[in-house]
Chains A and B, each alone.
Chain A
Amino acid sequence: DVKVTQSSRYLVKRTGEKVFLECVQDMDHENMFWYRQDPGLGLRLIYFSYDVKMKEKGDIPEGYSVSREKKERFSLILESASTNQTSMYLCASSPGTGVAKNIQYFGAGTRLSVL
């Protein structure tokens, strides 16, 4: 089974702190994604990565950065956390182009509260 693991289920941080959300997948997937989920807004893409050291901005990249130094790990960084970044963060991975179904698999999510 594909496994996408997010380092924390719940996280409480203070305004201005630098926050790291880690995501690891064990299926050698090419593509990895970070979303945030807010009630009534569905999932919004923050960043995605096609390959190691490659990244692309999604719909709402402001206030976030990412790092992908190894294929299996994709980190989301909140440079200076703000209260409007309180949300559910979901990491996902997919095999990549060339795979017929190219299904996206998700981690369990991290509920971040910024106080």
Chain B
Amino acid sequence: AQKITQTQPGMFVQEKEAVTLDCTYDTSDQSYGLFWYKQPSSGEMIFLIYQGSYDEQNATEGRYSLNFQKARKSANLVISASQLGDSAMYFCAMRVRAGGTGNQFYFGTGTSLTVIP
């Protein structure tokens, strides 16, 4: 079964500190992709970072990095130097091949991050 698990419903971090949001996944596929999205209170889902299952190096995008541990099936998001604008819901997602020529995406239940001044 394909599944994404985020065990932290809410997190707090002091401004300018780093924070790690946890994500574990379950799939029997060898080829898959892992994503993190940010959803501010406005509701739009914003793509942050991507990691392919065959990528040997951890992905980084500015202040975001993805700590990919394949054997443990974890894909944690690290946000460095937190800013007030980072306060939002964060979703971890996984892409696998679906029937036919398509792909299917699975999402976790999200982590609400609050940055404290």
Q: Which residues in A have some Cβ–Cβ distance to B below 8 Å?
A: 30-31, 33, 35, 40-43, 45, 48, 50-51, 54, 56, 58, 88, 90, 92, 94, 96-97, 100-109, 111
Contact = CB atoms under 8 A, between A and B. Distances in A.
Given A109-B43, A111-B43, A102 B102 contact: no
Given A96-B102, A102-B95, 17 more contacts: A33-B105, A45-B105, A50-B102, A54-B100, A88-B43, A92-B105, A94-B95, A96-B101, A103-B35, A103-B50, A104-B35, A104-B105, A106-B37, A106-B44, A108-B42, A108-B44, A109-B44
B91 A43 contact: yes
Interface in B70-110: 91, 93, 95, 97-105, 107-110
Chain B interface, DSSP helix/strand/loop, else mixed: strand
B45 interface: yes
A35 B33 CA distance: 19
Chain A to chain B: the 8 pairs with minimum beta-carbon distance, closest first: A106-B45, A50-B102, A42-B109, A43-B107, A109-B43, A108-B44, A42-B107, A101-B50
B12 interface: no
A83 B35 CA distance: 32
A102 B33 CA distance: 8
Contacts of B47: 103-106
Contacts of B35: 103-104
Contacts of B110: 42
Given A42-B110, A43-B91, A48 B33 contact: no
A33 B102 CA distance: 11
A35 B91 CA distance: 14
Contact of A45 (B44, B46, B100, B104): B104
A97 B43 contact: no
Interface in B39-54: 42-47, 50, 52
B43, B100, B110 — most chain A CB neighbours (10 Å): B43
